[in-house]
Structure 1
Amino acid sequence: MPVIDTFPQGTPVWVDLQSSDPEGAAAFYRDLFGWDVAEATAEMGGYAVATLGGTPVTAIGPLPQMIAEAGGRSTWTTYFVTDDIERAAAAATDQGGQVLVPPGELARGVFLAIVADPTGAVFGLWQQEKGSPWLRNEPGAVDWLELVATGYEDSLSFYENVLMVGVSQMPLNEGVYTLLDVGDANVAGAMAPASPDTPSHWLAYFQVADLDASLERLAGLGGSALSLPMSASGVGRWAVVVDPFGGAFALLEPEHEAA
């Protein structure tokens, strides 16, 4: 299993779900992906950690009360590593974004802040003294992370300055796809939404072995597809979906390597 425990500046380090029904969401994702979901604890801020094969994949917790009372929907949040969270938070403001939750110590040696980029896409800044294991790029685990925003091009300098990442492009079908890079590694992507009315957001892609079977299972569990399956050479097939409580994410079946 690809277990990651080293996270250079600018790399994704975690995703978690804030749900209007954490227990219902835990049951849904357990049945969809085969996660083992622990009991939520006060020590974890009401979050329940989900694992595969004993390695953490994500955590599921409640919507903040203020957001729930305002009718907010369940949301997946992506977190990126920074070596200096105070600098990164200040850069977010300087670059036209907002600091929604100022830097603070989440747990011993782990510091967290929540910010929004100039398009309104929300994500987390994460600083930690020592890396914790995170399962990636396996069925049931996060495979890819993507900024989906109208006018995302105007936010690229924001990410370069806040996360200290590079920007590159690759061919994708008939166009190009924008990448965020840490060294030689492509760590996340960015693209415009299919509809300009779609709110800006970070989208988490979870890997599956069989997209069609996973979409059928998702529907049987009360979820629904927000898009028809799409494909790209060198990438695979994917679809954007939503859980029964409004949390949007994507399913990705990577392109199979030729025998």
Structure 2
Amino acid sequence: MKQRTVTVGGPCWVEHGSSDPAGAKRFYGELFGWQAVELDAPPEAGDYTFMKLDGAIAAAVAPLYGEDQPTAWSVSFAVADAEASAARITGAGGSIVVQPMAALGLGRFAIAADPSGAVFGLWQGQTLAGVEVLNSPGALGWVELLTRDPDRARAFYPAVFGWTVRPSEVYPQWGLDDADFGGMLTMDDRFPPQVPPHWLPYFAVADVDVTVSRAAALGAEVLMPPTSMPDGPRVAVLRDPQGAAFAVHLAGAEG
């Protein structure tokens, strides 16, 4: 990710929605060195927790708020106006899952889905712009859309967020003014039909192989072992003990 701070249109938040928040906080605390700081919030917010890296917010862990909500990581993008962005989403063929609403005096959020069903968040920051650290080891460093409809995604996201697309038959990359922050992978027969299109967060790490070994020892499943990508970083994909997929990549080699 070539962005070092939250930028309107770019990734700004990553949240683990979990059926076992305590287990998630313990796992990621040991894996990335995150410190859990519970938010002083009303009871309806549940056990919402900021996960900090050396005092800076790197992510959040939240309980599940709906019966059909799976344990998963979610990615949100920064917007200047949540309502206007929601209108662009529906106009481009997407849908709004949760209408824009206030969030604890920190900003406004909404949950949306692209035309293929990949879910993502919108965040209109007020007192909190988003995560406070990017790209450093233990922090969000890349986001990836996995979709079965890449052509429609290429049209949808630039229409909503103004993204640039670095063309590639294998791995197109998303950016703002050509500063890339993510990519797109076409889901093929390697993905079971029950796996929906989704956004996958990548966390930067100092050593991919060591991180994967540590994650496995903590109970994670290795979905893709450490792999050096052609003309790209070393990466791996994991599923945490709570069931949420995430990826790691070598810090300093993103984008």
**TM-score, with length taken from structure 1:** 0.87
CA deviation string 1:65-99 (max 9, x = no partner): 322xxxx4311111111122112111211222110
Q: Which amino acid aligns with 1:180?
A: W
Task: Output the CA distance in 1 between the equivalents of 2:181 and 2:115.
Answer: 20
Q: Confirm whether residue 177 of structure 1 aligns to residue 171 of structure 2.
A: yes
SS of equivalent to 2:28: helix
Alignment of 1:204-243 (within 5 A): 204-243=201-240
8 Å CA contact 2:170, 2:185 repeated in 1: no
Q: What's 2:36 paired with?
A: 37
SS of equivalent to 2:246: strand
Q: 1:163 aligns with which of 144, 161, 164?
A: 161
SS of equivalent to 2:99: strand
Q: Which amino acid aligns with 1:102?
A: Q
> Comparing 151-160 with 217-226, which one deviates more in the overlay?
151-160
Cα distance, 1:241 vs structure 2: 0.5
Q: What's 1:135 paired with?
A: 133
Q: Which amino acid aligns with 1:169?
A: P
CA 1:88/1:207 → structure 2, altered by over 3 Å: closer, same or farther?
same
> Comparing 146-155 with 199-208, which one deviates more in the overlay?
146-155
Task: Output the CA distance in 1 between the equivalents of 2:110 and 2:184.
Answer: 21
CA deviation string 1:11-35 (max 9, x = no partner): 1111111001000110010011111
RMSD: 2.2
Alignment of 1:40-119 (within 5 A): 41-43=40-42, 45=45, 46-67=47-68, 72-108=69-105, 110-119=107-116
CA deviation string 1:211-247 (max 9, x = no partner): 1211111111111111233222442211110110111
Task: Output the CA distance in 1 between the equivalents of 2:14 and 2:203.
Answer: 11
8 Å CA contact 1:4, 1:134 repeated in 2: no
Task: Output the CA distance in 2 between the equivalents of 1:240 and 1:112.
Answer: 28
Q: Which amino acid aligns with 1:165?
A: W
Q: Confirm whether residue 154 of structure 1 aligns to residue 147 of structure 2.
A: no
Task: Output the CA distance in 2 between the equivalents of 1:211 and 1:168.
Answer: 26
Cα distance, 1:109 vs structure 2: 5.3
SS of equivalent to 1:10: coil
Cα distance, 1:153 vs structure 2: 2.2
Cα distance, 1:4 vs structure 2: 4.8
Q: Confirm whether residue 124 of structure 1 aligns to residue 125 of structure 2.
A: no
> Comparing 146-155 with 27-36, which one deviates more in the overlay?
146-155
- Tell me the percent identity: 37
Aligned residues: 246
8 Å CA contact 2:21, 2:63 repeated in 1: yes
Q: Which amino acid aligns with 1:247?
A: A
8 Å CA contact 1:235, 1:254 repeated in 2: no
CA deviation string 1:135-181 (max 9, x = no partner): 111111111001011112212211112112222225xxxx5421222
Task: Output the CA distance in 1 between the equivalents of 2:132 and 2:231.
Answer: 25
8 Å CA contact 1:222, 1:243 repeated in 2: yes
**TM-score, with length taken from structure 2:** 0.88
Q: What's 1:28 paired with?
A: 27
